[in-house]
């Protein structure tokens, strides 16, 4: 079964990663302490199992969202991807377009 978006609740260590890598402006006026989940649109999942730095390098606002074991299963099943995905490369364009949202 495939869906257009997936909500992942952030583990405490993922919240710390978000705080370290994401400028406050990407939280859309929310305080960091109020962020508990990330909503990921289907178009974001383009490079499965890619925990490596993208060829163009990392820019401010880019980050690699490492997934928990449970999140890996959710991403694979809900987006209908046969490959195990360990992380997602997130760039500012996803946030600006709304393909990735912090709630």
User: Each residue of 23-64: pLDDT tens digit?
Assistant: 777 777 778 788 899 998 877 765 545 555 666 666 666 778
CA angle 82, 97, 7 (to 5 degrees): 45
Instruction: Give the range among 4-13, 36-45, 63-72 with minimum mean pLDDT.
Output: 36-45
Q: Which residue did the predictor score with more confidence, 79 or 56? A: 79
Helical ranges in 1-103 per DSSP H: 12-21, 69-78, 92-97
Mean pLDDT of the chain: 79
Prediction pTM value: 0.78
The answer to whether the beta carbons of residues 63 and 22 sit under 8 Å apart is yes
């Amino acid at each position: 079964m495939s869906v257009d978006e997936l909500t992942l609740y952030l583990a405490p260590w993922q919240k710390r990663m978000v705080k370290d890598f994401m400028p406050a402006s990407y939280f859309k006026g929310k305080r960091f302490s109020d962020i508990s989940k990330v909503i990921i649109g289907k178009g974001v999942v383009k490079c499965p199992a890619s925990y490596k730095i993208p060829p163009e390098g990392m820019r401010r606002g880019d980050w690699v969202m490492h997934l928990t074991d449970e999140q890996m299963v959710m991403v694979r099943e809900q987006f209908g991807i046969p490959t195990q995905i360990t992380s997602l490369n997130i760039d500012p364009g996803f946030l600006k377009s709304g393909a990735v949202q912090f709630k």
